[in-house]
Amino acid sequence: MAIIITDECINCGACEPECPNTAIYEGADDWKYSDGTDLSGNIVLPNGKKANADEDQEPISDEIYYIVADKCTECKGFHEEPQCAAVCPVDCCVPDDDNVETEEELLAKQRFMHND
């Protein structure tokens, strides 16, 4: 499952540089599927969603850092544990119970984004 950042976030930014998929953005910042990945142009995500990887997407949060679920792999394929959760000083990076994915699905997403 993807990780989410809860309202307890203090906007310290410790999590953002730790994400190997560039799935974490500062509140109110636009994001792209191509940021930190090998994706470009028109793509079909593993979940079937179609998008242009190079187009700006609307921020998911205007107030606190946020994680793009379509890009979050819980660091599978890179690290043993989610790095955002490991560095968060207030433990606000937690599993998203509304977005459950198997380890195989997370690894497939990682390979898709990084052309492995």
Q: What is the mean pLDDT of each run of 10 residues along the chain (116 residues)?
A: 94 98 98 98 94 98 97 96 98 95 95 89
Task: Identify the pLDDT of residue 115.
Answer: 87
pTM for the full predicted model? 0.95
- Which residues form the domain of 69? 1-116
Number of domains in the chain: 1
CA-CA distance, 108 to 114, in Å (whole number)? 10
Task: Identify the pLDDT of residue 67.
Answer: 98
Within its chain, how far is the Cα of 80 from the centroid? 16
CB atoms within 10 A of CB 13: 11
CATH no. for residue 22? 3.30.70.20
Helix (H) or strand (E) holding 67: strand 66-67
54: tokens are 């190079």
Question: Burial of 75 by CB count in 10 Å (0-12 exposed, 13-18 middle, 19+ buried)?
Answer: buried
CA-CA distance, 4 to 43, in Å (whole number)? 24
Q: How far is CA 4 from CA 25, 39, 50, 90, 98, in A?
A: 12, 22, 22, 13, 10
Task: Identify the pLDDT of residue 116.
Answer: 63
Task: Identify the pLDDT of residue 1.
Answer: 73
